[in-house]
Every structure is written in C-alpha cells, then in structure tokens.
Structure 1
C-alpha cells in the first residue's frame, strides 16, 4: 500500500480516536482513496487500522478489489451490517471478519476534494453500532479527511474527538440519573428530566454535575 507517511499517521489517529470515542466500536480502520480521472476506478492510496487483525482483513479486501468498502466508495454512501453471521453480501470479506471476531460493522465515506476517506467501525457483538453512533463516526471521518487534505495538526482532530466523547459521556450520566429518579419518585422519563432541570436551575448546579451526584448517591446537593 502506497501513501505518504503523514497521511498514514493521520489515518492511524482517526482510527484510534474512533475506537475510543464511538460507543460499541471495538476497532476501526480507514482508507484514503484516489478519485481517479474520468471513468477510472478510485484506488486505495493508504490505509490504517486500530488492530493488526483488522489491518489484515482490510488488506485482503483491498487486494481482492471487491467488498463493502469498494461499494461505499463507488456509491458514496454509508453501508453497514448489524450481524455479519446473517449477512449474505460480500461472503469473502465477511468470512475474513468473522474469523477475527467481528460481528457487526459500519463504513462511512467523506469526500473533501481531492481527498476521499472511508472509516469503518467494527463491533464484536450484533447491533453494537447504533445509527446515532454512526453520526459521530461521520464527524470523525470528516475531520480526518480535512486533516489529510489540509495537513491539519493532530491536536485539532484530538480536541474535536474529546469534545464529542465528553458529550456522549454527559448524555450517559444524565440518562442514568433519570433512571434513578424514575425508580425513586415513581415517575416517567420526561417527569424525571423535568425535575432534574428544576433542581439544576433553582440551585444553580449544572445538569451534568447534578446527574453525577445523583448517580454517585451523594444527594441532590
């Protein structure tokens, strides 16, 4: 696989960040593609993966020239499989992933001319990657594509990923706190959230901080 070392470094960072930031993702891989001229088929220029087993599976698919990654590039749209064990498409590529413990995947493309990058997330259980989490992957691959085409520094991509991860974690802690209030107050989710907002506003406590206190069983204040 050919490609400038800086591009490969950026792709590695995108896969690492995606694996850490996207809930349900046990690993990731990314590929930079040439756009081709006229009717020429796009060709892979560089690739990276978060684990050697995933790198091997990607290399085998790229060497064959067929599989879900190629369809994503040709059609410029995301593709996924909730359960590879029941997947009838791309038998060779799916067999490669199953042998490496993968049960679900989602591939997202992003074009920032002249750069096209695909990001694939892998789950070790069926339906590990929810649609909302794929939106997070789309933001990451967009950042990665911009980094390759504009030679942006890793820090910018990292800051974006950290902010996204913090948003995901904040949502999770608020949901946990809502569940605790629903149980203790005997109310539904909307009423629990309304009560949290009321306490947050009247006592001048941030909603996330309040949720952390509720989950930590430290009282409301």
Structure 2
C-alpha cells in the first residue's frame, strides 16, 4: 500500500470504520474475526492466507477465522513442533516477520514444513488479549519478499481490532458470570433468612463462614444451599 496514494488511504480508513462498527454491533466473535482476517487478505498486498491463533493457558492452540484452511494446518505444525512465528508472536514478540521461509533459521522444523505447503513468507502480530490467553493475527504468502512497512502498519491496526473483539467477548462473559454469581448468592441468602429467621447481614455471614470452613468459593456454597435447602422447602 503506497501511503502517498489518497485513494488507498481512503480505502483503509473506510474499512477500519466498518470494522469498528462491526465490533460495536451485536455480532458474534467468530463473525468479527472472520471480517478481520478477510480484510487483511483484501488490504495487504501479498497476503494470500490469514488466520488467528489463540494460545490458551496450558499450551492448547485454537485456530480461528482461517480464510482458507491452510492457516489452521500451519498452526497445527507449530503446535506439534513447538516452534514457529505465530506462537512466537502470541507469546513473546509484538511482530514476527519472515521474508523467506526457505532460508529461515529460527524454526528449523516448522519452516521447511511450511514451504512444502507452498508458504514462503509470514507476518504475525501479537493480539493483546489477557493473561490467560495469548493470541496472534497471522498472514501467510505464497511468495517471498512481499512484506513492507505498510503491511506491518495495516496488520497492526487489524490486530488491534481482533484483540478488541476478543476482550469485549471476555468482558461480556465475565459480566454475565458476575451477575449469575450475584443472583445465586442472593437466592441462597433468601433461603437462609426464611429458614433460620435471620436478617440479610447475618445470612451473608453464615454463607461466608461456610465458605471459609469448606474452603469453597462463596458462589459454590450458595449453589449448594440452593440445591439442598431450596429443594426441601
């Protein structure tokens, strides 16, 4: 992408605005990430394939938004070999670039395997997600020497969109879990208040004491109260 070309700059600005609206709209994470990787292939010259890799706590890999099926295959190779640009970007570096995998020395097993699949270069961007999950937006090309500064800039912007979508989903899940926990504790408190004739404060203290004695989270104790005392009413 030539930064001096007003038309290309306009196209990028339009696509970024569209992606921002997509993230704000009530769409699934899968739909948003599919748009991110499709846009990467559309806007970045030389990018033939794109996908998103999540590395979960414990080392499990999850491949998302693969534009062709090849990105998932490359992710699996990296998982099996324990090396590669996508995992390296997700876990360590901000940007990992390889201009020619045929001469790449950083990943002695992954690079030849990728070349056998027709992939000659790659560009990966760290997704800033959360402590328990690392991620990367990955671009692959069937040609060597295709990446430039504009490719890195556009990829970084798209990676930020992808990370925002993942964080938004996680925030929503955490909010839903918090509301569910609050409701369970409230229900358990109501059962204790009715059963033992105590007020709201005393009911909560009883729940907290049970939690400490059993070394069980408060939400778990509340659920047990609901299942035992509640069913016997």
TM-score range, shorter chain: 0.5 to 0.7
Q: Deviations over 1:127-186 (max 9, x none)?
A: 11112211100100100111122149xxxxxxxxxxxxxxxxxxxxxxxxxxxxxxxxxx
Give the aligned partner of residue 74 of structure 1: 91
Q: Mean Cα displacement is larger for which, 136-145 or 90-99?
A: 90-99
What is the CA-CA distance between 1:46 and the residue it aligns to? 4.4
Indicate whether 1:138 and 2:156 are aligned: yes
Evaluate the alpha carbon distance shift between residue 131 and residue 43 of structure 1 in structure 2; reply closer, same or farther with a 3 A threshold. Answer: farther
2:99 and 2:147 in contact (8 A); partners too: yes
Q: 1:113 aligns with which of 130, 135, 141?
A: 130
Give the aligned partner of residue 143 of structure 2: 125
What is the CA-CA distance between 1:63 and the residue it aligns to? 3.4
1:42 and 1:73 in contact (8 A); partners too: no
Give me the whole-angstrom Cα distance separating, in 2, the residues matched to 1:11 and 1:151: 12
Give me the whole-angstrom Cα distance separating, in 2, the residues matched to 1:110 and 1:53: 20
The alignment's TM-score, normalised by the length of structure 1, stands at 0.56
Give the aligned partner of residue 45 of structure 2: 23
Report how many aligned residue pairs link the two structures: 142
1:11 and 1:31 in contact (8 A); partners too: no
Evaluate the alpha carbon distance shift between residue 131 and residue 54 of structure 1 in structure 2; reply closer, same or farther with a 3 A threshold. Answer: same
Give me the whole-angstrom Cα distance separating, in 2, the residues matched to 1:72 and 1:23: 21
Structure 2, unaligned stretches of length 5 or more? 1-27, 171-233
What is the CA-CA distance between 1:45 and the residue it aligns to? 4.0
Give me the whole-angstrom Cα distance separating, in 1, the residues matched to 2:77 and 2:31: 21
Evaluate the alpha carbon distance shift between residue 53 and residue 149 of structure 1 in structure 2; reply closer, same or farther with a 3 A threshold. Answer: same
* Alignment RMSD: 2.3
Considering only CA atoms, is the larger Rg found in Structure 1 or Structure 2?
Answer: 2
The alignment's TM-score, normalised by the length of structure 2, stands at 0.54
1:22 and 1:133 in contact (8 A); partners too: yes
What is the correspondence of 1:8-87 to structure 2 with a 5 Å cutoff? 8-34=30-56, 36=57, 43-87=60-104
Q: Deviations over 1:26-78 (max 9, x none)?
A: 111211233x4xxxx65434433211233212222123332222222332321
Q: 2:111 aligns with which of 94, 97, 121?
A: 94
Residue 65 of structure 2 aligns to a residue in which SS? strand
